[in-house]
Structure 1
Amino acid sequence: MCGGPPPPAGPPRPPPAGPVPPLVFLPAHRRGGAAAGRDETIPMLCKMRIGVDLDEVTMACTDRYRLTYRRVDWVPADGDVSYDLCILPRPLEAVCDAVKGGDVSVRMATNRTETGEVTLVGFRVGDRVVTSRVGDTEFINAAGHLKGVNDKGYRTTLLVPTEPFLAAIKRADLVRESREAVVRITVDREEIRIGAGAGSQAMAEPIAATVHGEIGGTIAFNPQFLREGITAVGGDRIRMEIDTPVRPIMCTPDLDDTPSLDSPYRYLIMPIRIAS
């Protein structure tokens, strides 16, 4: 039998800050992480910012060209709790893998310094515990940025059925001249036209839509970012608020009369400038 000192003990496990039901955590992580960066040479853009403020948890990501923001309700163990953390995707993916195994809530807990700074976060799913170091929280203030964009106003609001919209973008993607080519959206009175390609390969497919505000004008997008955004927003109908071809577009679920700034999920995407 080998001797020697015992292995060092891990950090003490803090009491859980509160549970998040699995049917809430999984889609919140999927939708909140839709804009996470994939370039590991810029690790900050690969992280998810999780904000805890009283009875709300927010998840936000950005890759500089788009931003996602998901808000969910929860019941904190301590009613007076508020902090922000930035976490790399791998620990959160491990939590999602554990959640898929059964109907078990995710319980989040944090270790803090005497000054209240969060240094470690842990997620308990049943008997499994996933811990992660907390990154630099000097991350974009997603809520403030979205409010700033929204306060400038939009000239046009589109209400578009999700499935036909997504299918039209996929078809337009097939006729693009190159991987760098864009998909164009032109706004008309009672429809939008999804266009791509040039010459004999050009197409412009109409999709019925409800249009409020100004009509006319064409906006171009990276088709992958647009598809991922529509898929993440989900629902039967998506609301798009647009202004000029160079201002970001706000995409939210169409939730009756809920203003976009109050929507539990927001997907902000930058259009691509094209020659007029």
Structure 2
Amino acid sequence: MKIRLDRDVLAEAVQWAARSLPTRPSVPILAGLLVKASGGQVVLSSFDYETSAQITVKADVSDDGVALVSGRLLADIARSLPNKTVEITSDQTKMELVCGTARFTLQTLPVADYPALPEMPEATGTIPSEDFAKAVGQVFVAAGRDELLPVFTGVRMEIEGETLSLLATDRYRMALKELQWSPRSSKGEGAALVPARVLAETAKSMTAGESVTVSLSAAATGDGLIGFEGTGAAGVRQITTRLLDGEFPKVRHLMSVQAVVSVRANTADVIAAVKRVGLVAERNTSLRMLIADGSITLEAATGDQAQAVEALEAIVADTTGNGLSMTAAGFNPHYLSDALAALDAPYVQFSFTAPGKPCLLTGLNDIDGEELGDYRHVIMLMRLPA
């Protein structure tokens, strides 16, 4: 193999493909990055039996060939090279990189031992890359991090015609985002539970192109695979990942709570107040929201050592008609901050049903306008001491 390409193109491509390399590979060969050159392009690939990453970039290819080298080492080297053209050659035993006066020689790994990458499923539809990245980021905050409960570490993707829904929960909070996309079939339906971490990294890494193609394997094939293809600054990027097993909890009904008390306020003001008051919130204790006519007050404390109180203007409504039926609510301050940041709306509405019950957060473009129904975030309230 003998190729020439720009240093920045090489560095970005290797860095992107190497991100998917396992930190503790089950077998040493999986630490390798596969480099394949042919027909005026270079394909860099990584695979850990769960997730595969493949990027294709243009290059001046003098001799076709395939080589397998340590992915993380190659990424470190490519990032450190001077800003000049890079020449790469390889044979059966070594790969050599020459860039200006810098020269590196790497021992190659046996290509024959490297597992075959899974085939990309048939395309299901496309979605604007910026919209996809934003939507995934909004629901990712509610996904679980506990690997002992894998079903909660995923984002459920639901396809129904021209609507793509993303849903995540860690049992204490839930997020739902619905957005329009372009399906290959107008009558297409399907669902998949995608590892949240892989989905988030994929969505962020494909914003350079206009759109992302989603490829979901048919349920009848039983291979449980989803693929994503998009364009980056250096070339075409493809990722496949195995879907999570297990039944996702039925939490959609919590997204349509009938509010007994609703509170509307400026989102930025609430975010800033939560950040300030939360500084003194003791671990595993709540940030309290006291609800009154025309205002809310946030309170937190660490025993007798520190207390914080801040009042904000708000529009408060009680649907019972009998005066305020709920005057206090307890939030996990971190969950509340995440939810408010994910709303991406100038105003927020809190919809309360009862103390200790789920609270629904939705965005508003105007303080007295209609709720924005495309994104909904539910937080399970903490019980307050009597």
TM range (shorter): 0.7 to 0.9
Match runs of 1:181-260 below 5 Å: 181-197=285-301, 199=304, 201-213=306-318, 214-215=323-324, 217-255=327-365, 257-258=369-370
Equivalent residue number for residue 194 of structure 2 = 87
What is the SS of the residue equivalent to 1:273? coil
Structure 1 distance, partners of 2:274, 2:119, is 50
Counterpart amino acid of 1:75?
S
Counterpart amino acid of 2:238?
V
Is 1:269 aligned to residue 368 of structure 2? no
Is 1:123 aligned to residue 228 of structure 2? yes
Is 1:57 aligned to residue 164 of structure 2? yes
Structure 2 distance, partners of 1:7, 1:173, is 50
**CA RMSD between the two structures:** 2.4
Structure 2 distance, partners of 1:266, 1:194, is 22
Equivalent residue number for residue 15 of structure 1 = 122
CA deviation map 1:165-204 (0-9, x unaligned): 111111111222x222221000010000011115573332
Task: Indicate which of 136, 157, 171 corresponds to 1:29.
Answer: 136
Structure 1 distance, partners of 2:272, 2:113, is 59
Counterpart amino acid of 1:61?
A
What is the SS of the residue equivalent to 1:138? coil
Match runs of 1:132-143 below 5 Å: 132-136=241-245, 138-143=247-252
* Structure 2: unaligned runs, 5 residues or longer: 1-90, 93-109
Amino-acid identity (%): 24
Is 1:155 aligned to residue 264 of structure 2? no
Deviation at 1:259, TM superposition (A): 5.3
Structure 2 distance, partners of 1:142, 1:255, is 26
Is the strand fraction higher in 1 or 2? 2
- 8 Å CA contact 2:353, 2:359 repeated in 1: yes
Structure 2 distance, partners of 1:98, 1:201, is 42
Moved more, 217-226 or 117-126: 117-126
Change (3 A) 1:14 1:181: closer
Equivalent residue number for residue 103 of structure 1 = 209
- 8 Å CA contact 1:246, 1:273 repeated in 2: yes
- 8 Å CA contact 1:233, 1:252 repeated in 2: yes
Task: Indicate which of 148, 155, 174 corresponds to 2:279.
Answer: 174
What is the SS of the residue equivalent to 1:131? strand
Change (3 A) 1:116 1:212: farther
Deviation at 1:143, TM superposition (A): 2.5
Structure 1 distance, partners of 2:340, 2:129, is 23
TM-score (ref. length: structure 2):
0.64
Change (3 A) 1:10 1:158: same
* Structure 1: unaligned runs, 5 residues or longer: none
TM-score (ref. length: structure 1):
0.88
Change (3 A) 1:38 1:154: same
Structure 2 distance, partners of 1:99, 1:4, is 28
Deviation at 1:238, TM superposition (A): 0.3
